[in-house]
């Protein structure tokens, strides 16, 4: 049995930032990266909206830099997947901790198409805010019919020359206000009663989408980008029996703090953020979690 003052789960911007701040506070944190080192951010390529990089930065390079900074400051970064509770790593190693920071992130929901997987990061994206900039004055498609899909389509319409919305039913699930904005936007064309059958490409990037109508007929549209907006799923299943979560599975935190419903357990990043889901906000919440951990340990005399 190993013991640490601060255990961090997750190797994305939230986890690494928490490790940086905890290490600088002298807490000698142990961080387990999980099965996707670098987190969800590494599913994209160039990150242009992270502060401090004039020409943008490669996602993997950004996460490697965060990781290296945490290690330099004294964090113990390890590979492994978690089984609760006490924390068990890869069903072999048990660790007890005075505090736990959960920064396991969230995963975008995809359609499950092989062609979608093939072009992920090369025209297929689940984040318009992250990748929309690359499709200025080009044609894109957004899959989904809820508020998120409408928001993504409206955002993309400020950049792209045309936006298709692929909606599997004949109505939106979005609020009336969002529907009105979409339907009154001349750049957005809604394709009702359509499902995506295949993402088309030339081996290098997306060139179109093959759609299946409700009546069984198929047709293709030419697009340069394909955006998924059918929701995210927080990676919180391991903890849902122990912590309060909202109806969507996001870990509930106390106000602006990172405190969860369990004493000594804190949450940071996309696992507790159903709204913003950006690298910079995840990093900020990692800082908050580390500061909350430090304060908690001082108060408890640990």
Distance CA 99, CA 102 (A): 10
Shortest CA distance to 165 belongs to which of 139, 145, 138?
A: 145
Catalytic residue among 6, 130, 150, 194: 130
Radius of gyration of the chain (CA): 21
Distance CA 294, CA 284 (A): 16
Catalytic residue among 6, 90, 98, 131: 131
Catalytic residue among 127, 224, 270, 273: 127
In this structure, how many other beta carbons lie within 10 angstroms of the beta carbon of residue 216?
Answer: 6
Shortest CA distance to 271 belongs to which of 6, 84, 8, 85?
A: 8
Active site residue 131: yes
In this structure, how many other beta carbons lie within 10 angstroms of the beta carbon of residue 14?
Answer: 35
β 57-58/124-125 pair status: unpaired
Q: Which residues contact 47 (CB under 8 A, 6 or more apart)?
A: 41, 53, 56, 57, 58, 59, 62, 130, 279
Is the peptide bond prior to 283 cis by the omega test (within 30 degrees of 0)?
no
Shortest CA distance to 290 belongs to which of 68, 70, 67?
A: 70
Q: Which residues contact 221 (CB under 8 A, 6 or more apart)?
A: 141, 164, 191, 208, 209, 211
Whole-angstrom CA distances from 160 to 157, 223, 227, 294 are: 5, 11, 12, 45
Active site residue 150: no
Active site residue 127: yes
Distance CA 282, CA 38 (A): 12
Q: Tell me the catalytic residues.
A: 127, 130-131
């Amino acid at each position: 049995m190993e013991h640490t003052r601060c255990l961090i789960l997750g190797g994305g911007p939230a986890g690494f930032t928490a490790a940086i701040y905890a290490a600088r506070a002298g807490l000698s944190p142990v961080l387990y990266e999980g099965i996707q080192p670098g987190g969800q951010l590494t599913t994209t390529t160039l990150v242009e909206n992270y502060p401090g990089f004039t020409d943008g930065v490669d996602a993997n390079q950004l996460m490697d830099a965060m990781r290296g900074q945490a290690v330099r400051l004294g964090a113990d970064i390890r590979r492994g997947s978690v089984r609760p509770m006490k924390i068990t790593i890869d069903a072999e190693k048990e660790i007890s901790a005075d505090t736990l920071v959960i920064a396991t992130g969230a995963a975008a929901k995809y359609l499950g198409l092989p062609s979608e997987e093939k072009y992920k990061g090369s025209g297929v994206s689940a984040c318009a805010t992250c990748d929309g900039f690359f499709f200025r004055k080009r044609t894109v498609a957004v899959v989904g019919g809820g508020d998120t899909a409408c928001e993504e389509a409206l955002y993309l319409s400020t950049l792209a020359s045309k936006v298709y919305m692929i909606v599997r039913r004949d109505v939106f699930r979005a609020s009336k206000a969002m529907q009105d904005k979409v339907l009154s936007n001349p750049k957005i064309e809604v394709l009702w009663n359509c499902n995506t059958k295949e993402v088309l490409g030339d081996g290098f990037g997306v060139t179109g989408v093959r759609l299946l109508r409700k009546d069984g007929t198929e047709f293709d549209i030419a697009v340069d980008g394909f955006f998924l907006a059918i929701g995210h799923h927080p990676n919180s299943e391991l903890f849902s029996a122990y912590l309060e979560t909202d109806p969507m599975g996001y870990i509930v935190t106390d106000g602006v703090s990172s405190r969860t419903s369990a004493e000594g357990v804190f949450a940071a990043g996309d696992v507790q953020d159903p709204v913003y889901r950006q690298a910079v906000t995840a990093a900020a919440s990692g800082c908050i979690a580390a500061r909350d951990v430090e304060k908690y340990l001082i108060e408890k005399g640990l």
